[in-house]
Amino acid sequence: MISATVEAQPSQSGEAGLRSLMTRGRWIEVARILFTGLVALLYWQQIVPIWLLWIAVAVGLYPLVKTGLIDLFTERKIGTEIFVTIATLVAVFGGETVAGAVLMVIILIAEFIADLNTDRARASIKALIGSVPQTAIVREDNIERVVPIADLVVGQIVLVRTGEKIPVDGVVVGGLASVNQAPITGESIPQDKADGSPVFAGTIVEAGALDIKTEKVGGDTIFSRIIALVENAEAEQAPVQKLADRVASWLIPVVFVFLIVVFLVTRDVSKIVTLLIFTSPAELGLATPIVMIAAIARAARSGILIKGGLYLEQLAKADAIVFDKTGTLTANKPAVVRIDSLDRTVPEPDILRLAASADRRSAHPLAKAVVEAAAREGLLVPEPDSYEQIQGRGVRATVESRVVLVGNPALLREHNVPIAFAVQSGGQTPVHVAVDGKFCGVLYIADTLRPGAGHAVAALKEHGIRRVVMLTGDNRASADAIANQLGIDEIQADLMPEDKVAVIADLQNRGFKVAMVGDGVNDAPALARADIGIAMGAAGTQAALEAADIALMTDDLGKIVGARNIARRAYRTVQENLWVGVGVVHVLGITAALMGWIGPIQAAFIHLGPDVAVFLNSVKLLRIKIEEA
Q: Are 446 and 337 in contact (CB under 8 A)?
A: yes
Of the candidates 520, 595, 607, 502, which has an alpha carbon nearest to the alpha carbon of residue 282? 607
> Rounded to the nearest 10 degrees, how much is the dihedral formed by the CA atoms of 357, 361, 367, 373?
50
Q: Is residue 506 flagged as an active site residue?
A: no
Q: Compute the distance between CA of residue 177 and CA of residue 189 in angstroms, rounded to an integer.
A: 13
DSSP state of 218: G
Q: Compute the distance between CA of residue 510 and CA of residue 525 in angstroms, rounded to an integer.
A: 20
Q: Compute the distance between CA of residue 529 and CA of residue 82 in angstroms, rounded to an integer.
A: 43
DSSP state of 303: T
Q: Compute the distance between CA of residue 165 and CA of residue 278 in angstroms, rounded to an integer.
A: 50
Q: Compute the distance between CA of residue 407 and CA of residue 392 in angstroms, rounded to an integer.
A: 9
The secondary element (H helix, E strand) that includes residue 211 is strand 204-216
Q: How many H helices and E strands in the chain?
A: 23, 20
Q: Compute the distance between CA of residue 294 and CA of residue 287 in angstroms, rounded to an integer.
A: 12
In angstroms, what CA-CA distances link 33 with 108, 269, 347, 359?
7, 24, 87, 80
Burial 63-89 (b: 16+ CB within 10 A, else e): bbbebbeebeeeeebbbbbbbbbbbbb
Strands in 457-592 per DSSP E: 467-471, 490-492, 514-518, 532-535, 550-552
DSSP state of 308: -
The secondary element (H helix, E strand) that includes residue 335 is strand 330-341
Q: Compute the distance between CA of residue 8 and CA of residue 467 in angstroms, rounded to an integer.
A: 42
Secondary structure of residue 165 in the 3-state scheme: strand
Strand partners, 143: 140
List 151, 195, 245, 324, catalytic entry: 324
Cβ-based neighbour number of residue 217 at 10 Å: 23
Q: Are 357 and 381 in contact (CB under 8 A)?
A: yes
Cβ-based neighbour number of residue 226 at 10 Å: 26
Q: Compute the distance between CA of residue 280 and CA of residue 256 in angstroms, rounded to an integer.
A: 10
What value does the CA radius of gyration of the chain take, rounded to a whole number of Å?
33
Q: Compute the distance between CA of residue 321 and CA of residue 323 in angstroms, rounded to an integer.
A: 7
Q: Compute the distance between CA of residue 154 and CA of residue 135 in angstroms, rounded to an integer.
A: 15
Q: Compute the distance between CA of residue 523 and CA of residue 517 in angstroms, rounded to an integer.
A: 9
DSSP string, 105-154: HHHHHHHHHHHHHHHHHHHHHHHHH----SEEEEEETTEEEEEEGGG--T
Strand partners, 514: 320
The secondary element (H helix, E strand) that includes residue 266 is helix 239-266
Cβ-based neighbour number of residue 178 at 10 Å: 15
The secondary element (H helix, E strand) that includes residue 200 is none
Give the catalytic positions in this structure: 324
